């Protein structure tokens, strides 16, 4: 792994994790986090968490035992109301949510059709479910359709389409309206992982489904990106949520998240819903446009993405590491993404923008990128 430039190291961050961080002792502008709205370091979230901490730290048990706090219940109710769905169920992470849903709903007689570039949690959940697993070519609706047509509906069997909404390494969007229509026509269900769309996309920040006017049977929303906290929720029908309460092993057998974390997430959700959330989304859109326009002027070969994720594919791992190091020396933190996270030969800088960045900081990154790429 070392010889192939694929060995991974952790970097120590001192203090907060916002647009400006200290990495291994060096002050940097952070252009690789998922803090899209700049809420991870917002003092109002910390204040909400501190208020709940007055009552204690951990939840002490799984939700079905004694760990289900009033803060958890309130967050679930507020999420369901915001997303205009009947119910929501909190999970400790997006990974736990995806794994729990797929293992609970699918069995050997069922069919899962999944985009080949889905997040690892959807891949692992699908494999562990025991269902027949079909990988569809990335964002190719015809490939999903062929898989459905090759497996006619059987009584009592579930056919489920699963996809990310925003693909985390490329920043592109799934064809959700087409997939939603396809599922409806074939009597299949659609599950959407909206971790990178929730809070950011759509006029009200409700995510990718709102942005494109599509529907899904199962929606996963993550809190560790735009909301600046941690955890996730599955949102859907009354029957879905009640079933998961009975059968989702990653929920049933996990200690409930700390109430203070739910309190901080409630504060973040309130900001997303308010005028301030709309202002932050507008600011982010402006920075994305500014970055892409500047990159075009400099001839930087960005991937085709209109989201806050702006990948710069460099090819070999050594090249990506070298450019990342050059940026670090100039005060910009952009981690290199290498296989197996991305396919061989597509190592990249996964540049991400935040409403917490200033225009001058984006311009500075562009200049630093141009200088780093010009280096031998």
Residue 237 annotated in active site: no
Q: Measure the CA–CA gap between 72 and 258, rounded to whole angstroms.
A: 9
Distances (CA, A) of 206 to 79, 190, 272, 273, 306: 10, 17, 9, 9, 17
DSSP letter string over 241-257?
HHHHHHH-HHHHTSBPP
Pair of tokens at residue 18: 């916002």
Catalytic residue among 168, 305, 324, 354: 168
- Quickly count: other Cβ atoms within 10 Å of residue 202's Cβ: 18
Residue 232: beta bridge partners?
A: 91, 222
Instruction: Check whether 341 is labelled as a binding-site residue.
Output: yes
Q: Measure the CA–CA gap between 316 and 323, rounded to whole angstroms.
A: 11
Q: Measure the CA–CA gap between 15 and 27, rounded to whole angstroms.
A: 11
The residue count for the chain = 376
Q: Measure the CA–CA gap between 197 and 119, rounded to whole angstroms.
A: 14
Which is nearest to 114 in space by CA: 90, 96, 138, 89?
A: 138
Residue 35, phi-psi category: left (phi > 0), alpha (psi -120 to 50), beta (remainder) = beta
Residue 312: beta bridge partners?
A: 302, 349
Burial 109-145 (b: 16+ CB within 10 A, else e): ebbbbbbebbbebbbebbeebebbbbbbeebebebbb
Q: Measure the CA–CA gap between 152 and 256, rounded to whole angstroms.
A: 39
Catalytic residue among 59, 93, 180, 196: 196
Residue 168 annotated in active site: yes
**Contact call for residues 131 and 154 (beta carbons, < 8 A):** no
Pair of tokens at residue 323: 């450019």
Instruction: Check whether 168 is labelled as a binding-site residue.
Output: yes
Instruction: Check whether 8 is labelled as a binding-site residue.
Output: yes
Catalytic residue among 121, 180, 186, 225: 225
Distances (CA, A) of 282 to 64, 206, 288: 41, 14, 10
Residues in binding site for pyridoxal 5'-phosphate: 168, 196
Residue positions in the annotated binding site?
Answer: 8, 119, 168, 196, 341
| Residues recognised as catalytic | 168, 196, 225
Q: Which residues are annotated as a binding site for substrate?
A: 8, 119, 341
């Amino acid at each position: 792994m070392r010889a192939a430039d694929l060995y991974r190291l952790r970097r120590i961050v001192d203090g907060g994790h916002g647009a400006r961080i200290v990495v291994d002792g060096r002050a940097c502008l952070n252009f690789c986090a998922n803090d899209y709205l700049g809420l991870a370091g917002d003092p109002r979230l910390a204040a909400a968490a501190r208020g709940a901490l007055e009552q204690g730290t951990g939840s002490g048990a799984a939700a079905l035992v004694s760990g289900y706090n009033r803060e958890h219940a309130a967050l679930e109710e507020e999420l369901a109301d915001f997303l205009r769905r009947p119910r929501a169920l909190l999970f400790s992470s997006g990974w736990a949510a995806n794994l729990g849903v797929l293992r609970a709903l699918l069995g050997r007689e069922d069919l899962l059709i999944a985009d080949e570039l889905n997040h690892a949690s959807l891949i692992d959940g699908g494999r562990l479910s025991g269902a027949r697993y079909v990988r569809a070519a990335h964002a190719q609706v015809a490939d999903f359709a062929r898989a459905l047509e090759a497996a006619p509906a059987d009584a009592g069997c579930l056919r489920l389409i699963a996809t990310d909404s925003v693909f985390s390494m490329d920043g592109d969007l799934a064809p959700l309206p087409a997939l939603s229509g396809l599922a409806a026509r074939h009597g299949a269900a659609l599950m959407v992982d909206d971790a990178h769309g929730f809070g950011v996309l759509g006029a009200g920040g409700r995510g990718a489904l709102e942005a494109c006017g599509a529907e899904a049977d199962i929606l996963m929303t993550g809190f560790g990106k735009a909301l600046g906290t941690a955890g996730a929720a599955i949102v859907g029908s009354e029957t879905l949520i009640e079933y998961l309460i009975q059968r989702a092993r990653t929920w049933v057998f996990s200690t409930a998240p700390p109430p203070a974390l739910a309190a901080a997430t409630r504060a973040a959700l309130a900001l997303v819903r308010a005028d301030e959330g709309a202002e932050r989304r507008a600011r982010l859109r402006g920075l994305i446009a500014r970055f892409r326009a500047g990159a075009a002027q400099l001839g930087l070969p960005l991937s085709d993405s209109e989201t806050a994720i702006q990948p710069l594919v460099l090819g070999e791992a050594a090249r990506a590491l070298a450019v990342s190091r050059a940026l670090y020396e100039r005060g910009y933190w952009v981690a290199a993404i290498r296989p197996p996270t991305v396919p061989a030969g597509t190592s990249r800088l996964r540049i991400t923008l935040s409403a917490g960045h200033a225009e001058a900081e984006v311009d500075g990154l562009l200049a630093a990128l141009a200088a780093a790429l010009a280096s031998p």
